Amino acid sequence: QELLVESGGGLVQAGESLTLSCTASGFVASFDDYAMGWFRQAPGKEREGVSCISWSGATTHYSEFVKDRFTISRDNDKETLSLQMTSLKFEDTAIYYCAATPSNGVGCTLDGKDFEYWGQGTQVTVSS
């Protein structure tokens, strides 16, 4: 059974940094057959795409709200996905989800509807 497990969330003050990790297991195909993404959902708001990365890591996309502050990366050998978050703001407070979708070879997308597998999420709280 495909499983994505996020970790690294917590409570930080505005301006601080935090790194999220996502570990994949149970996938039939190899980890590098999947494009990966990070999404978040704040209370009372819809889920939004934060960042995505292609199977090779060569292509990445970021939402306008996190560009230049967050960095996505992946280690295909360790089957892990990471999100380095710096200069955190109060509005970054949300549950962060890791997601995977079979790669189409082109790149990646920030549209959650295109992702098939989801983790349970990890809470990130930024105090102002």
Nearest to 74 by CA among 1, 2, 128, 4: 4
Predicted confidence band at 53 (pLDDT cuts at 50, 70, 90)? very high
- Mean pLDDT in the chain? 96
Mean pLDDT of 92-113: 94
Cα–Cα distance between 3 and 120 in angstroms, integer?
A: 9
Predicted confidence band at 112 (pLDDT cuts at 50, 70, 90)? very high
Residue 106 has pLDDT above 80, yes or no: no
Tokens read off for 13: 């003050």
Residue 43 has pLDDT above 80, yes or no: yes
